[in-house]
Amino acid sequence: MLAHHFTLPDETHTDALGRALGQALHGLYTQVQAHGAVLTLSGDLGAGKTALVRALLRALGVTGPVKSPTFSLLEPYDLSSLNFYHFDFYRFGGGDEFATAGFRELFAPGTVCAVEWPERAGARMPTPDLSLTFKVMDQERVVQAMAHSPLGTAWLTQAIATMQHRTATGDG
C-alpha cells in the first residue's frame, strides 16, 4: 500500500497537511458513507497530532473550538452528512477499556474516527485506513503516512497532490 513522508518545518505546514487531508476526505464522502474512515495519529506528546486534526476539521467546516480529547477521551463533531469522532487514548492504562467504553461501535459506516494514541486501545482497535506517525526532529516534524486500504490510498494520494501543488505554487 501507499506510503509517503511529509516534512513539516513549522506549524503552518502541519496546518496545511491537516487541511489537505480534510479536503481530500470531503471528496471521498460517498465511500465514507459506505465504509466509514479511520485515521490514526501516533507519536510523542507535543508532536502536532491534535493540531493536525484541528486543521482537518476546519477544512470540513468546523468553526467552533476543537479541544484536545486528552481528558474526555472523545470529542464528537456533527458534520452535515457524517459523524466525526476525535479520540485520544493516551490515558488508557491497558486492559480492554476501548471495548468496555463502547467505542468499538462508533467505528461504523458514515463515521470518521481520528485516533491519537491508537496503540493504547489494544487489539480491538480497527485497522486504520490511513496512519500518520509523527517524529519530532529538532524543531521540525516528519510525518510518515501509510495507507492500509483503498480508501486510505485515495485519501493519501489526494493529500499528497494538494501538498505538492502548494509547495510548487508557494501558496502558504
Ligand X SMILES: Nc1ncnc2c1ncn2[C@@H]1O[C@H](COP(=O)(O)OP(=O)(O)O)[C@@H](O)[C@H]1O
Give the closest residue to 19 by CA, choosing from 29, 7, 31, 11.
11
Report the alpha-carbon distance of residue 172 to residue 158 in Å, rounded: 18
- 14's contact among Mg ion, ligand X, none, with CB below 5 to 8 A by partner kind, is ligand X
Q: How many residues bind Mg ion (CB under 5 A)?
A: 4
- 13's contact among ligand X, Mg ion, none, with CB below 5 to 8 A by partner kind, is ligand X
Q: How many residues bind ligand X (CB under 6 A)?
A: 17
Nearer of residues 32 and 132 to ligand X, judged by Cβ: 132
Q: Is 45 in the site for ligand X (CB under 6 A)?
A: yes
The cell for 55 is: 486543521
Q: Is 68 in the site for Mg ion (CB under 5 A)?
A: yes
Cβ atoms of residues 143 and 47 within 8 Å: no
Nearer of residues 67 and 165 to Mg ion, judged by Cβ: 67
Cβ atoms of residues 114 and 85 within 8 Å: yes
Q: Is 54 in the site for Mg ion (CB under 5 A)?
A: no
- Per DSSP, the three-state class of 143 is strand
- 40's contact among ligand X, Mg ion, none, with CB below 5 to 8 A by partner kind, is none
Report the alpha-carbon distance of residue 50 to residue 67 in Å, rounded: 8
Site residues for ligand X per CB under 6 A: 8, 10-11, 13-14, 45-51, 68, 116, 139-141
